Amino acid sequence: MSYSGADIYIGVMSGTSLDNIDAVAVRFNQAGQVESIARHSDPIPQDIKATVITLSRGQPVSVTTLGELDRRLGECYAAAINSLLEHAALLPKHVAAIGCHGQTVYHQPSGDYPFTMQLGDANVIAARTGITTVADFRRKDMAYGGQGAPLVPAFHNDYFSDSEQPTAVVNIGGIANVSMICPDRPLYGYDTGPGNMLMDAWTQRHRHQAYDRDGEWAASCAPYQPLLQRLLSDAYFSRPAPKSTGREYFNLDWLDRQLLAFSLSPDQVQATLLALTVESIAIAIRPLKRGRIFVCGGGAHNQTLMLALQQAMPNWAIAQTDEVGIRCDDMEAIAFAWLAKQTLNHQPGNVPAVTGASQACCLGAIYLPY
């Protein structure tokens, strides 16, 4: 395959699930369509994953640990991008920019001094790849009073808008978020709560496996409704949008506190955690009665979860985003490629109605390779 000009963007994402670094090369055309060119995934080293979890749970680490983590993540992102370039026979000159989300290690969108921290030195990425890199997307939105998240609804609106019916785009990663795109009202969206994060952590604790494949363990038992209602009574779920959350809030410590009032088997808890993910998503979508839902992220592969979501939303047509041309595993990486394009073109990347920022703004910082 031959390439001409620097019209390709690479998006890089490692999310709250802490499983892989996903790098995706794409083109965007003027009709809002996406041409996927190549993708590559590298697993996140286990010691890096463990350090990120330590940070996200508020446990103290040394400045040396923090600095070395930033550098190591930058090297990991660069290696994934260079593998992608090699496999796709791409040269740096073919790529306009890399959009790298970085690895969130702490997200605190409220309080006297709100902040969010993503690590993965973009100077290293630009130097190792020879490609202009755009990173640090969230903090500009927060500087204008926003939550810094979610940022993907702007891209979802660009790609999925439909003048005929409401469309919900649901990303189920470690945290789940929803973008609501309606023909008769402004775009809105927010983090609905846990996606795969609690289910994965509970599976790791009790089965020593990375995750519950296809939700088979969760499907072996019925959700325990009193526990589900207790979990849903957490103030986060009733808080009005804009809102965002992460591993800092929804983690095993949070779950263990809720479980003190019950004596349940591990399989009952796992089934209830899946029901929590489904119900918290459904709460965000149900008020619109009917439409279509496109699911992306790792949760789209969980057959038990997808079936439960359809049962909870019987008036909605539910499908993976693969059916409209974007692999469900690539959605967030592609969104950050799109955000890099927005930045280079001096266009806004946030949606104030979604994040709560006082204005739309151009996001991210640009790191040159020279």
Same domain, 310 and 243: yes
Q: Is the pLDDT of residue 1 over 50?
A: no
Q: How confident is the model at residue 162 (pLDDT cuts 50, 70, 90)?
A: confident
pLDDT in the model for residue 52: 95
Q: Which residue has the tokens 């620097």?
A: 6
CATH code assigned at 17:
3.30.420.40
Q: Is residue 2 part of a domain?
A: no
Q: In whole angstroms, give the CA distance from residue 25 to residue 148.
A: 25
18 carries a ligand binding annotation: yes
The pLDDT of residue 2: 43
Are 161 and 281 part of one and the same domain?
Answer: yes
Q: State yes or no: 15 annotated in a binding site.
A: yes
Mean of per-residue pLDDT scores for the chain: 95
Give per-residue pLDDT as tens, 53-100: 999 988 899 999 999 999 999 999 999 999 999 999 999 999 999 999
363 and 270, same structural domain? no
46 shares its domain with 171: no
**Does 166 share its domain with 306?**
yes
Contact 215, 305 (CB under 8 A): yes
Q: Is 14 annotated in some ligand binding site? A: no
b/e burial code for range 171-198 (CB count within 10 A of at least 16 → b): bbbbbbbbbbbbeeeebbbbbbbbbbbb
**Phi, psi of 367, rounded to the nearest 5 degrees:** -115, 120
Are 176 and 263 members of one domain? Answer: yes
Angstrom distances, CA of residue 220 to CA of 83, 90, 238, 262, 337: 40, 46, 30, 19, 39
How many structural domains is the chain composed of? 2
Token pair belonging to 337: 């490629």
Same domain? For 105 and 166 the reply is no
pLDDT of residue 5: 60
23: in domain: yes
Was 47 annotated as part of a binding site? no
Considering only residues 32 and 3, tell me which one the structure prediction assigns the higher pLDDT: 32
Do 282 and 182 share a structural domain? yes
Q: Could you give the percent of the chain with pLDDT greater than 70?
A: 98
Both 135 and 179 in a single domain?
Answer: no
Average pLDDT, stretch 233-254? 96
Exposed e or buried b for every residue in 229-266, given b needs 16+ CB within 10 A? Answer: eebbebebbeeebbbbbbbbbbbbebbeebbeeeeeee
Q: Would residue 14 count as lying in a domain?
A: yes
Predicted confidence at residue 33, as pLDDT, reads 85
21 annotated as belonging to a binding site for a ligand = yes
- Residues 125, 207 within the same domain: no
Same domain, 239 and 351: no
Per-residue pLDDT, 6 = 79
From CA 37, how far away is CA 331, in angstroms rounded? 14
- Give the domain extent around 200: 153-324
259 labeled part of a ligand binding site: no
Q: φ, ψ for residue 173 (rounded to 5)?
A: -100, -140
Q: How is residue 177 written in tokens?
A: 């978020």
Q: Tell me what the mean pLDDT of segment 296-300 comes to.
A: 96
Mean pLDDT of 206-223: 97
346 and 227 belong to one structural domain: no
359 in any annotated domain: yes
Q: Which of 1-15, 44-58, 129-143 has the highest mean pLDDT?
A: 129-143
Residue 43: inside a domain, yes or no?
A: yes
Does the structure show a pLDDT above 70 at 3? Answer: no
